[in-house]
Chain A
Amino acid sequence: MLRVDGLVKHYGDVIALDGCTFAVERGRMLGFLGPNGAGKTTSMRVIFRLVDPDAGSVTWDGGPVGVAVRLRFGYMPEQRGLYPKMKVGDQLVWLARMHGMDAAAAAAATERWLDAFDLADRRTDTVEALSHGNQQRVQLIAALIHDPELLVLDEPFNGLDPIGAETMARVLRERAAAGTAVLFSSHQLDVVEDLCEDVAIINDGRIVLSGDVRELKASSNRRVLEVEAGAGSGDLLDGLDGVLSSAFDGHRHRVVVDAAADVRHVLAAADRDGAVQHLSYSTPSLSELFKEVVA
């Protein structure tokens, strides 16, 4: 398990991290969320000692994270980068060996991953000769090639087309299922909600919400009531007892209510306005939780 504990990092007057604490367990995927500049990239860089924290610690399975331990981690930085003039196969073999694999194992892993990503016929092409999408795939392979115990990806879904995003999601699921601890940052909350068991939301350098996504949603003191009524006349539900906020798009009411509130009077009010055709009562989405803690 990766444990990040009380990280503090100042750049002059700017506070990048202010007691950032979270954990990633083996076999689970943690979505790392936060507005731009909240400290996501800095936290990831601290894990790889690209940045020295002013205070706090990073441990793996309870022990310190030295060079030897880091070799068992995989990293895909936000600033993607490979040697453009080096051949795809050579580059992957080299990076695998930088992670401590021997020449034969590195070559075998390169074959396996290039096959898995349909890039086997591009092995002898230089990286710069590949399309943008294929370069992204090679970048991902570079992070995976040594079967890392911890995988850290900074905005892995950035710039991916839908097929690329699907491949990325599939690979991350497979790795987590195989026992890898996966940590990735994203602004795409629906992707995170779809993929991750755990989430950590960072704002102004500190974690403002973290835990199992389903538990977080269930323990929220809000619920979302969606009501689709016939020819509704407008937003009549705002201000009703137990209603925290309400929106109406001319067709559908979306009402955030207190989890403890009885909502029958809200339904009744909606029904009076126009016959209710569709109704749902659910825990808030990740995006709502996010807005709640980051706003």
Chain B
Amino acid sequence: MRPRHEGVLAARTGPAAADGHPPSVNALLLVMQRELVTRLSAGYLVSSAAFLLVLVGVIVVPTMLSGPTTYDVGTVGDGNREVLDTAADRANRDAPADERTSFDVTSLGDADAARRAVADGTVDAVLIDGTEVVVRRASGFGGNDLLDLLQQAAGGRQVERLVPAEALPRVQGALDGRALEVTTLSGQDAGQTEGRSIIAYGGILLTYVLILQYGVWTVSGVAEEKSNRVMEILLSTARPWQLFAGKVIGIAALGLLQFSTTLLAAVVAVRVSGAFELPAIPTDFIGTLVVWVLLGFAMYMVVFGAAGALTSRPEDAQSAMAPISVVVMIGFFGSFAVLRNPDGIMGLIGTFVPFWAPFVVPVRAALGALPVWQGVAAAALSLVTIAGLTVLSARVYRGGSLHLGGRLGWRQALRGADA
């Protein structure tokens, strides 16, 4: 694909004075546009499309392969029919019509015949007298659907036999882990909170992946500009912050575009194929989450840009990224601790440390553990931090830009625009 300048933005970035854009906006838009146009190469589009295809395939293909399940089960003796009926009832309780489970039952003479039938694969399992089951091998980590089903069915039958009918619902509730009735002060019901926290985790994971993937682009993009020495010309035509912000926004926009496309494709694929149940999405919470994904992404892109300005060669990008990546990881993994104890001191610290807030705030919000004032204050603090970092990073960018040969310290870059 030939990059073309007559792109979307072209019509809006005419002569600085003629079309009303001040030169500053013009420069920023042009830098953004260049990032987008040069990075949206044919190779990038092909690899992105391939990734989407694989993703959709992973979601859709299993559902296409799924359908009614029929197990071949052998029986020896009596009391097996009831177990199998219960098993079928349980399996089909919530299953859609085209995914029903049934048993193809073969009556076998004795235990020896049962072993032979399992061994030669005629049947998947043999039930003996409703109390014993013969399978080829013990299940591994992944479990064995048939064995689990039979165990649960047999267990249910035993409970029914042992417990008086009137006590049966309570006993079954206890066995299912619902012995106590739950009242939450936050007013959220348990299912909703679970949905929120799953989405919160999706969002945090998204922030984490976005930051690390596009952070590499930002660092190496800035470092490349330095190593091919085009910086001096650029800095003679525009202010450092325009170049810096244009570049970072350009890369970030591409990142968000790719991720929203991916996310959309995944959601559509799940909805259309019905691969699995999506948790109900509370819309108020989605807004909070999107805000924090954007805040977190923006904050780290700015920092990575500055890190790029401190390196001279793209090869140095990894080592320049390392300390920042550590901070990102502390935030990401720290948020697991916050999930267990959203009201604790870690949650509070994380909320007010801007670098960790994007990982901590969504979790606390999901669990209803974030007072409104804390959410607002944390967002304001993050915005101030982003603005401050942009000014600071633009300074490092300018200071580091004319410095070649070896890595430059943060202090040195900040001190002199030309040290």
A interface residues, Cβ below 8 angstroms from B? 11, 42, 45, 48, 50-52, 67-68, 70-71, 73, 75, 77, 79-87, 90, 93-95, 97-103, 105, 107, 124, 142
Contacts of B236 in A (CB 8 A): 48, 50, 70, 73, 75, 77
B19, B232, B238, B416, most chain A CB atoms within 10 A: B232
Q: Interface residues of B toward A: which range? A: 35 or more
Q: Are A94 and B418 in contact (CB under 8 A)?
A: no
* Distance in angstroms between the alpha carbons of A69 and B225 in the assembled complex: 24
Contacts of A103 in B (CB 8 A): 5-6, 10, 13-14
Interface-side segment among B22-30, B110-118, B163-171, B341-349? B22-30
A90 and B417 contact, Cβ closer than 8 Å, known pairs A71-B16, A75-B236: no
* Distance in angstroms between the alpha carbons of A11 and B402 in the assembled complex: 14
- Report the nearest B residue to A86, measured CB to CB: B38
Q: Nearest 5 CB-CB pairs, A to B? A: A81-B229, A102-B14, A48-B236, A77-B232, A81-B230
Q: Are A83 and B228 in contact (CB under 8 A)?
A: yes
Q: Are B15 and A81 in contact (CB under 8 A)?
A: no
Distance between B237 CB and nearest chain A CB, rounded to angstroms:
5
A67 and B30 contact, Cβ closer than 8 Å, known pairs A93-B5, A98-B234: no
Q: Are B23 and A71 in contact (CB under 8 A)?
A: yes
* Distance in angstroms between the alpha carbons of A104 and B399 in the assembled complex: 34
Q: Are B14 and A75 in contact (CB under 8 A)?
A: no
Q: Are B234 and A102 in contact (CB under 8 A)?
A: no
A142 and B14 contact, Cβ closer than 8 Å, known pairs A45-B418, A51-B417, A52-B417: no
* Distance in angstroms between the alpha carbons of A65 and B17 in the assembled complex: 17
- Report the nearest B residue to A84, measured CB to CB: B228
A98 and B30 contact, Cβ closer than 8 Å, known pairs A68-B23, A82-B228: yes
Contacts of B38 in A (CB 8 A): 83, 85-86
Contacts of A142 in B (CB 8 A): 233
- Report the nearest A residue to B226, measured CB to CB: A81
* Distance in angstroms between the alpha carbons of A117 and B417 in the assembled complex: 35
A98 is contacted by which of B2, B10, B229, B238 (Cβ under 8 Å)? B238
Q: Are B3 and A101 in contact (CB under 8 A)?
A: no
B interface residues, Cβ below 8 angstroms from A? 2-3, 5-6, 10, 13-19, 23-24, 26-27, 30, 34, 38, 225, 228-239, 398, 402, 404, 416-419
Contacts of B6 in A (CB 8 A): 103
Q: Are A105 and B417 in contact (CB under 8 A)?
A: no
Q: Are B228 and A105 in contact (CB under 8 A)?
A: no
B239 is contacted by which of A67, A81, A102 (Cβ under 8 Å)? A67
* Distance in angstroms between the alpha carbons of A161 and B23 in the assembled complex: 38
Distance between B139 CB and nearest chain A CB, rounded to angstroms:
54
Distance between B38 CB and nearest chain A CB, rounded to angstroms:
6
Contacts of A77 in B (CB 8 A): 229, 232-233, 236
B30 is contacted by which of A68, A75, A80, A94 (Cβ under 8 Å)? A94
Q: Are A50 and B402 in contact (CB under 8 A)?
A: yes
* Distance in angstroms between the alpha carbons of A68 and B398 in the assembled complex: 19
Q: Are B3 and A90 in contact (CB under 8 A)?
A: yes
Contacts of A87 in B (CB 8 A): 3
Distance between A105 CB and nearest chain B CB, rounded to angstroms:
7
A48 and B239 contact, Cβ closer than 8 Å, known pairs A71-B16, A83-B228: no
* Distance in angstroms between the alpha carbons of A142 and B416 in the assembled complex: 28
Contacts of A100 in B (CB 8 A): 15-17, 23, 26
Q: Are B231 and A81 in contact (CB under 8 A)?
A: yes
- Report the nearest A residue to B243, measured CB to CB: A98
* Distance in angstroms between the alpha carbons of A82 and B10 in the assembled complex: 22
B3, B27, B230, most chain A CB atoms within 10 A: B230
Q: Are A79 and B3 in contact (CB under 8 A)?
A: no
* Distance in angstroms between the alpha carbons of A159 and B26 in the assembled complex: 34
29 contacts between A and B (CB under 8 A): A50-B235, A50-B236, A50-B402, A51-B417, A67-B23, A67-B24, A68-B16, A68-B23, A71-B16, A73-B236, A75-B232, A77-B232, A81-B228, A81-B230, A81-B233, A82-B228, A83-B38, A83-B225, A83-B228, A90-B5, A94-B34, A100-B15, A100-B23, A100-B26, A102-B18, A103-B10, A103-B13, A103-B14, A107-B5
Contacts of B10 in A (CB 8 A): 103
Distance between B88 CB and nearest chain A CB, rounded to angstroms:
64
* Distance in angstroms between the alpha carbons of A100 and B419 in the assembled complex: 30
Distance between B310 CB and nearest chain A CB, rounded to angstroms:
18
Q: Are A79 and B237 in contact (CB under 8 A)?
A: no
